Amino acid sequence: MSESSLRIALAQLDLLVGDVQGNAARVIECARAAHRVHQADLVAFPELALSGYPPEDLLFHRGFRRQIESGLEEVCRQAPSPCVIVGYPEYTRSTIYNSAALIADGAVAAIHRKAALPNYKVFDEKRYFHAGAQPTVAECKGFRVGLLVCEDIWEPEPAQLARADRAELLVVINASPYERNKQRERESVVRARVADIGLPIVYVNLVGGQDELVFDGNSFVMDAEGEVVMRAPAFEEGTYFVDFQRRGRGTVAPIPGKVTAELSDEATVYSALVLGVRDYVNKHGFPGVVMGLSGGVDSALTLAIAVDALGADRVHAVMMPSRYTSSISLEDAAQEARLLGVKYSELSIEGMFEATLGTLKEEFAGRPPDATEENIQSRCRMLLLMGISNKTGRMLLTTGNKSEMAVGYATLYGDMAGGFAPIKDCSKMLVYRLAAYRNSLGRVIPQRVIDRPPSAELRHEQKDSDSLPPYEVLDPILEAFIEEDLSVDELEARGFDRATVGRVLDLVKRNEYKRRQAPPGVRVSRRAFGRDWRYPITNGYRR
C-alpha cells in the first residue's frame, strides 16, 4: 500500500467471555494473518475483545484483572508492527473503564475510554465502568484515526470531539447485540453522525452467542456522504478489509468494497436462533441436545433449529405420548425426525401417569379433574427427558414460545424444565413465520403441523384457544404491553377489546414467578423476558 493509503481490517470475531488467554491468542493470530496475507495497516477488534462481552461481575475478580493485564501485555508483545485496536477493561487504582487500546510497535500508543455508558435494555455498564471524558485521536501510517467505543457513536458529542481534534476518520469498536431491525437502526445512527461531522466511519461489531444475547456482526464502513460502501455478512466470523485513500484537499475516503445484502426479517431471526443455540451448547462443552417432540409447530421448529445449529448426529428427539396424544401428532413427530435424520425415541408416559394418579388418589378424592392432571403429564415427560439428559450428558432444550411464557401457558417443572429455550423470545405468530421460512430452505416440517390448530394435548380434544385468545389477537396485545409499555387505555384506543386486554395483562402479571424460573433463551425482540424484563413478582399494582 502507498503512503497515501490505509488498509483497515475489521475483525468480526466470536469470542468467549472470561477466556482472556484464548481471546488474546485469537487477536494475535488474526492480526498476524491480516498483516501477513492482506498487508493490513490497522486491525480493529470488537469492544471488550479480551474479556468477551458482557463480562458482568467477572470484572470484580482480582484474578480476572490480572489475566486482562497479562493478556494485553501478550498482545503488545506478539501483535505485528502495524496498528491494532483492541477492546479491553482497563483497571486503574479504584476504577474500571471500558477502553480501546491502539497498539503500535509493541506498546500501547493511545487509549480511548468509553464516554457514553448504556444503562438500558440489556445494558448495565454503569454498574461496572466509569465514563471517559476526552477524545482520542491517534496516528496510524500518517492518518489521524479517532477511536470510539460502541455507545459513543449513538451520542453526538464523542464524534464531534474527535472531529475537533482533527480526526480524518473514525473507527468504532462494538459489541452491539442483535434484535429485530437492529442493523437498520445502527446504520441510521451512524449516518446521522456522518452528516454531523463529515467523516467516514468504520464500524466493527462482535459476532456470536453469549447466554441470552446474540451478536450479529454486520460490520460496515460508511463514507462521508452517508453511503454504506462495505458491509460484512451477518452471523458469520471473518476478517473484512477496506482501503482508505487521501484525496484532493487532504480528504480521506474509503474505496467501495462488497456490500453484503441485508437478510429478510425471518432469515435474520432464524440465523440468530441457530447461532445462539450453537454457541450456548458448544461453549458449555455439551456433546449434544435432547428435546421433546410433540408433533406441534413449536417443537418442530426447535428441532430444525437444533439440527441446523449442531448437526443431526448431536440431536435426540423424544416423543412421549399419553392417552390424549393424537395419531396425527405421532405420525408428524416421526416424520419430522426422519426428515431431519435425528435419533428418535418413542416413550409412553401412560404408566407413569397412571401410577402418579394412583398414588395421589386419596389426596385428590372429592375433587374434579382440572389443570392438575394436565401438569402431571407434563412433569412425567420432564422426568424422562432429564433422565436422558443426565445419563447422556446432552443438554435439554425446551420448546416454549414467548406467547406461552408471557401468559403462563406452560408447566413449571414440566415443559419449562431445561437448559436452554431457543424460541423463548419468539411469539406464536413469529413461530409460524419461521416454520414457513425454514421449509422454504428445504421441507422439514409437515404442512399440517403448521396448518392445524395448536393444542397441548393434555386433555380430550384440547385446543390452545380454549384457554387463550386467538394468537392473532393475543400476540399484538403482548407486544404492545411488553415492548411498548402501553396501558389498558392505550391498548383499547388501538382497537383491542378492553376485557380481553385486562385478562391478558392479568395473566402476564400473575405468571412472573414462572418466568423467573425459566431457562435462558435467545433474545430477538426489543424486549425479552430475562435481562430486559425486571417485573416484580410480588406487587400490588392494579391496571
Known catalytic residues? 47, 114, 150
Helices (H), 265-370: 265-283, 297-310, 327-340, 350-359, 361-364
- Please tell me whether residue 336 adopts helix, strand or coil conformation: helix
Query: How would DSSP label each residue in 392-452?
Result: H-PEEEP---HHHHHHT-S-TTTTT-SSB-TTTT--HHHHHHHHHHHHHTS--S-HHHHHS
Packed helices 428-440 and 471-484: angle between N→C axes, nearest 10 degrees: 110
C-alpha grid cell for residue 65?
484483572
End-to-end CA distance of the chain: 65
Dist CA 537 CA 513 (whole Å): 6
Dist CA 88 CA 84 (whole Å): 13
Beta bridge partners of 343: 316
Dist CA 181 CA 4 (whole Å): 37
The answer to whether 230 touches 256, Cβ cutoff 8 Å, is yes
- Torsion angle of alpha carbons 405, 406, 410, 414, nearest 10°? 40
203-227 as b/e: b if 16+ CB within 10 A? bbbbbbbbbbbbbbbbbbbbbbebe
Dist CA 291 CA 313 (whole Å): 14
Burial class (CB in 10 A: 0-12, 13-18, 19+), 392: middle
Residues comprising the chain, all counted: 543
C-alpha grid cell for residue 334?
416421526
Kindly tell me the number of DSSP H helices and DSSP E strands found in the chain: 17, 19
Dist CA 147 CA 136 (whole Å): 6
Phi, psi of 386 (to 5 degrees): -70, -30
